[in-house]
Amino acid sequence: MSQEVQHDHEHGHEHGNEGARDNAAASAQGINLTPKALEMVKQMHTKEGLGVEQGLRISVVGGGCSGFQYSLSFDVEKEGDTAQEIDGAKIFVDEISLPYIAGTTLDYVEGLHAGGFRFDNPRASRTCGCGSSFSA
């Protein structure tokens, strides 16, 4: 399934804890998706009946309770995007958003109180309880 990802991990043995974390997530140019997040993106793509040119756009916009807010949408690739395909799912990040979210892991959690996509951004100096905004 994700032979590219496993191949990448063979080159980074010196970081023991990072390797274990990376093995659980697929990477798109500095953006990581856990297997559950990747599965949900693919399910939503199919449910929406989108074409193969449509992919998941991960971006950062001003606003939210901590200064910046993450944005997820399905879109086509645009000029200046960093694009990668992970296990059949296309991921797009615009050039302005990439520096803010490089190294971020996108996860999908299920729960009675607060389910949905969650961002783990090591570059964030402060995050919010909603899990969708941060300050850099």
Q: What is the pLDDT of residues 93-106, one digit of tens each?
A: 999 999 888 889 99
Residue 41 pLDDT > 90: yes
Band (26; pLDDT cuts 50, 70, 90): low
Dist CA 67 CA 32 (whole Å): 22
What is the number of residues in the chain?
Answer: 136
Query: Is residue 22 within a helix (H) or strand (E), and if so which, with residue range?
Result: helix 16-23
Higher confidence at residue 90 or residue 62? 90
Two tokens, residue 7: 């191949």
Task: Specify which residues 77 forms β-bridges with.
Answer: none
Band (86; pLDDT cuts 50, 70, 90): confident
Higher confidence at residue 9 or residue 99? 99
